[in-house]
Structure 1
Amino acid sequence: MWEDLGLRPGIDLGFFTLRFYSLAYLAGILLGYWHLSRMIKAPGAPMAQRHVDDLFFYCTLGIIAGGRLGYATFYQPELWANPMNLLKLWEGGMSFHGGLIGVLLAMVWVSWRGGLNFLRVADYIAVNVPFGMLFGRIANFINGELWGRPSDVPWAMVFPGAGPLPRHPSQLYEAALEGALLMVILLLLFWKTRARWRPGFLVGVFTAGIGIGRFTVEFFREPDAQLSEFALRTGLSMGQWLSLPLVVLGLIVLARALTRPALGATASYKDSAEPA
């Protein structure tokens, strides 16, 4: 979009351009780190600050590496023909599902190395993911990418590079469902209820919620050009097929959390060298 208008997408510093998508990742990660550091000060925290620092580092790597490798695997396999193209992050192409796998592996590593309860760590991380989802989709909208299907709704927009037809601003739909709505739900559950005392409850709500949100928005989003034939052949887009397992997994984890006894008030991380 921006190149079509003769502009550089981002904030031009002269020697370097800060891309909107990069700024969105940075804002989401920093806000998530700050909020997670606050969360562990509440009763029942399953980790200490040093674990938060480790999660901040490894989850950032997981988002970048997983997002890029996931995009190449699920959406543009031809990138694997020249692995050096995988490093060209500035050309775009990141997969949410790939980034989610990267974050999951990072949590497994930090939990195993620190002797932490993985499910409870996942609960705390899940509350913070919608921050990044909200900023990321707003950045997609500003960049004029990942636009929606043609539509005649009053709020339809013409996106440069997408032709003359008005389209759904599907990026804003995702920002609202996967970002703002899920963020409000998880924050209320954590701070206003005893949901954090049921291991798996918060991550179950997040996983099912993100899957339902993505599956729904895909009805309004234009499929990737290289996958349009796949969507026509299967009846669902690649994003919808990848979201269905998330919904099923989230409901299973949520049901497990609700059928197990809640933890007691003393169920928090204990470390003689550093209190939680």
Structure 2
Amino acid sequence: MVAERGSDGGGLIAPGIDTTRPSIARVYDLFLGGKDNYESDRALYRQIVEIAPETPVWARENRRWLGRVIAYLARQARISQFLDAGSGLPTAENTHQIAQRHDPEVKVVYVDNDPSVITHGQALLVDNESTQFAAADLTDVCQVLTEPAVTKLIDFDRPVAVLLAMVLHHIEDIQDARRIVAEYADALPSGSYLAISHAVNPRDGSEADGLATAIEARFKPFFPTLTPRTPAEIATLFDGLDLVDPGLVRLFDWRHQTDEDLPDLRPAAAHLLYGAVARKP
């Protein structure tokens, strides 16, 4: 696979990458300050921050939440195998970097089907024998679990942590989202964990409802399945699992570290991302 630099000064272009339409992975990376993006991504970015200037803050908060989750799982829960499904573009403080800092023996497999992510992810991990990349659709759980990269590193006779960060709100039908989570959970042994972060729309007529609805309207023409959900709807994704304290909460309320600065968000923007970690009994 030969990659070339885009004419607009953006990221590398490999076969299969459509630079004329925004990629959710590249837009999210742009919120994090990444450079692997194109004008189509930047145009949507500008539209989103016009409505919600806090969007880059949300992206950073999701990364910080993920960092706390991985640290908890690797250090306290003693999980040594991670499956990061819908991982997105590699950036600073990736799952394997955080987990292997706590335990160098940790095994990590990233899963994504975005061509941009596949190109960059495989290049990043070429020299790390404890980390693999699987080019697969996270919604096809059977495909994911039988991918050679997964079966090479993950031992499903021992506890595994499955990370589903900021991906399930791209599945329009909540029944499908529940099925996907349940299929991952069913495949895991007792003592395994699932971690989920999810976009929220309280749908209660509040200012937060209005802001979430406006953001959704901007995304919909490009990502028509985007579906923020109420906290009560998100909670049903964890049916049959034991929530780890403090349960399903705003991302920055999940085991917030005292040395971390809380994000400066207007009230309407402070309730639009929730996350939780749950253990399989």
Return the TM-score normalized by structure 1: 0.31
Larger Rg: 1
Where relative contact order (Cα < 8 A, 6+ residues apart) is larger, the structure is 1
User: Going by fraction, where is strand more abundant, 1 or 2?
Assistant: 2
